[in-house]
Amino acid sequence: MRRVPTSRTDPHNEDPASHQREDRRKGLAYQGAFEAVMAIPIAIGGGYWLDRRLDTSPIFLILGAVLGFASFVLRLVRLGRQLQPPEQEPKP
């Protein structure tokens, strides 16, 4: 019976350095996703706090939501670029 690999590379055939690189990429992915997701509630919370402190209508809450979502999108774009394998230059 043949074993079907669950990833692109078979973990039993790769060297420790390759396994370590893959673990690092996974760690960076989780860190980036956590930072992206937490940007929204932090920005909304800051906007809510400013609205309460300055006794304003939900202007800062809305502004915080917009800024939080924008930072969420930017973080995911950076994360995508960071996790892409480096392109190898073609040899002439």
Signed CA dihedral, 63, 69, 70, 71: sign only: positive
Residue 10 CA to residue 82 CA, distance in Å, equals 23
Q: Which is higher by pLDDT, 73 or 9?
A: 73
The string of pLDDT tens digits covering residues 56-84 is 989 999 999 999 999 999 999 998 888 88
With tokens 């920005």, the residue in question is 43
Instruction: Give the sign of the dihedral formed by CA 51, CA 57, CA 58, CA 64.
Output: negative
| pTM assigned to the model | 0.68
